Amino acid sequence: MLQRPRRNRKSEVIREMVKETHLTASNLILPLIIVEGDNKKVEVASMPGVYRLSIDNLLREVESCLNLGLKAFDLFPNIDEALKDKYATISYHEECLYLRAIRAIKNRFPEACVVTDVAMDPYSSDGHDGVVENGEILNDETLEVLGKMALAHARSGADIIAPSDMMDGRVGYIRNILDSNGFTNVSIMSYCAKYASAFYGPFRDALDSAPKFGDKKTYQMNPANQREALIEATLDEQEGADFLMVKPALGYLDVIKLLNDNTHLPIAAYNVSGEYAMVKAAVQNGWLDERRTITEVLTSIRRAGATAILSYHAKEVLANKWI
């Protein structure tokens, strides 16, 4: 036998030498969930190890992550139901919990990279990512709200704005508003291929943001589609996105690879709440090895072509020195 591929697997040193995919702290973005109050840290039932944090505890968490070399964070708010309305007006109010959180992090830790989520659902009394009228999600009316929200994030100090709503034309709309207000250096990480997925369930529990009626299938993509992701990617690239995101990640590795092969922008992938919950539930039952499963999940997402991975595992893999 001339070729014996096992020779390159015979020792740890050689295995490391021929390793094709590397995973480091700089690839990771940690999603964090914020709640109103003082010294609050409330575990999300369906996401063991993930907490809703009040701003004081959020700052402690960011500090401990920075000490581990984890420097990028994506923020999500749990908003009091009484503050929600049809047009998500609270989202761009100066004293909104979310905007206070951005300011608090950037004041205290200017070196932290803050990614902000632009979409109406956490603030909307309808629980949808857009303005609802007669049961329909209105695209262009939603853009106006998203533009105000994105501008408020930029003014509060956001480094990267991540629209997760899937309305048509929103990347260009937001880019234009940012630029005309002097925020030419604020980046856009577009949720480019975001699928109407069952795997967002635990996240909607965490935010209390589930849609009050219907589903999100008229704006999020059909899980059956791959080629359609290229349409979204082309538009987002033309409209001025700096990153293209695929979401969820694990069931959509083919889409990550497709976008990586067909576009020039860095690809981000969101290892979503349901993917996290599945792993944690199996680990709690003793059915999967935690360290090996989590590092394999993250490595697979990198191998498919994602440069940046948003993952609720981001801190634990560093704190436990798994990578």
Q: Does 232 carry a binding-site annotation?
A: yes
| 285 phi-psi bin (left φ>0, alpha ψ -120 to 50, beta other) | alpha
Q: Cβ closer to ligand PBG: 14 or 138? A: 138
Enumerate residues 218-277 that contact ligand PBG by CB under 6 A: 272-273
The C-alpha atoms of residue 42 and residue 30 are separated, in whole angstroms, by 17
Q: Cβ closer to ligand PBG: 41 or 204? A: 204
Enumerate residues 173-202 that contact ligand PBG by CB under 6 A: 200
Enumerate residues 4-63 that contact ligand PBG by CB under 6 A: none
Print the SS3 string covering 107-137: HHCCCCEEEEEECCCCCECCCCCCEEECCEE
194 catalytic? Reply is yes
Residue 321 in 3-state DSSP?
Answer: coil
Count of all residues that appear for the chain in the document: 323
Query: Residue 312 has what DSSP assignment?
Result: T
Check whether the bond before 202 is cis (ω within 30° of 0): no
Residue 74 in 3-state DSSP?
Answer: strand
Which tokens hold the place of 292?
């090996």
Query: Residue 85 has what DSSP assignment?
Result: B
Q: Which of 84, 216, 247, 280 is catalytic?
A: 247
Q: How far is the CB of 86 from ligand PBG (least distance, A)?
A: 17
Q: How far is the CB of 149 from ligand PBG (least distance, A)?
A: 11
Q: Cβ closer to ligand PBG: 61 or 129? A: 129
Which tokens hold the place of 34?
């914020």
Q: Cβ closer to ligand PBG: 48 or 56? A: 48
Query: Residue 221 has what DSSP assignment?
Result: B
Enumerate residues 113-142 that contact ligand PBG by CB under 6 A: 117, 119, 121, 129
The C-alpha atoms of residue 270 and residue 312 are separated, in whole angstroms, by 9
Q: How far is the CB of 46 from ligand PBG (least distance, A)?
A: 10
What letter represents residue 304's amino acid? A
Q: How far is the CB of 270 from ligand PBG (least distance, A)?
A: 6
Q: How many residues bind ligand PBG (CB under 6 A)?
A: 12
Q: Cβ closer to ligand PBG: 87 or 200? A: 200
Q: Which residue has the tokens 């680990």?
A: 283
Q: How far is the CB of 309 from ligand PBG (least distance, A)?
A: 12
Task: For residue 60, count other CB atoms closer than 10 A to its CB.
Answer: 12
The C-alpha atoms of residue 114 and residue 149 are separated, in whole angstroms, by 15
Contact pick of 124, 156, 164, 190 for ligand PBG (by CB under 6 A): 164
Among the listed residues 265, 245, 266, 264, the one whose alpha carbon sits nearest the alpha carbon of residue 255: 245
Contact pick of 173, 195, 203, 243 for ligand PBG (by CB under 6 A): 203
Phi, psi of 270, rounded to the nearest 5 degrees: -105, 110
Q: Cβ closer to ligand PBG: 44 or 70? A: 44
Q: How far is the CB of 9 from ligand PBG (least distance, A)?
A: 35
Q: Which of 194, 216, 280, 315 is catalytic?
A: 194
Contact pick of 204, 257, 291, 303 for ligand PBG (by CB under 6 A): 204
247 catalytic? Reply is yes
Residues near ligand PBG (CB under 6 A) are 117, 119, 121, 129, 164-165, 200, 203-204, 216, 272-273
Provide the annotated binding site.
232
Residues annotated as catalytic are 194, 247
